[in-house]
Amino acid sequence: MAISEDVRRYTRAHPRHVTAVVSVIGYAVVIGAFAGMVPVPEIEAATVQLFSDLIAVINTTALLLLVAGWRFIKRGEIRKHRAAMLTAFGLIMLFLVLYVWKVGGGFEKAFVGPTLVTYVYWALLAVHILLSVVSVPVVLHAVILGLTHSPAELRDTVHPRVGRVAVATWTLSLFLGVVTYILLNHIYDWERVRLSTAAILVFGPAIWRRRVL
């Protein structure tokens, strides 16, 4: 109990430090899993597809909760806002576990479709990934402040400003993630590749060109 209380006091006093440390750890785990440095149980193709569908459901639910949480705080309903945002954050943690497991233990999907749509897809995916990466410390900072301060205290912190940025980047990232999922899995086609998301993003158009040529 004493240790947990010490951690809470330190987190409350140094939210930026804690945000930076947790963000770096999160980035390291994801990169390590993609690079094969973090052991991830292997899964079959059917499980990869199942995880893709589950991730889409999780992201859609989190997106709706973010919109609801934003509306709640606009109406001054702090408890509902807190519940919506923390639930959305919990869902994103679940998404991260499934995504790392899907890519690290399975494979990635390269988009297959008409030329114009392919480039639109890569552009949407690029923005989605960029916002996902950028939003991590912003979201963490908002959550850490929210968990260590009372509603009255939060008014005197950067939580309102950071929260607005977090909701904007997080919402757009989730929305684009759902759009790219639909394009990839339900409108057009995909092919299996054993590359990380970053590699697919960089070499994806080239992979597609080689396939059609």
**DSSP secondary structure, 124-151, as one string:** HHHHHHHHHHHHHHHHHHHHHHHHHS-H
Residue type (1 letter), 187: I
CATH of the domain at 42: 1.20.120
Question: How many separate domains does the chain show?
Answer: 1
Would you give the DSSP letter of residue 36? T
Q: Does position 83 have pLDDT exceeding 60, yes or no?
A: yes
Residue range of the domain that includes 139 = 2-212
Indicate the pLDDT class of residue 195, thresholds 50, 70 and 90: low
Query: Assign residue 64 a region: left if phi > 0, alpha if psi is -120 to 50, beta otherwise?
Result: alpha
Average pLDDT over residues 55-73: 97
**CA separation for the pair 52, 102 (Å, rounded):** 8
The SS3 assignment for 111 reads: strand
Q: Does position 198 have pLDDT exceeding 70, yes or no?
A: no
Among 31-45, 164-178, 187-201, which range has the highest average pLDDT?
A: 164-178
**CA separation for the pair 202, 59 (Å, rounded):** 24
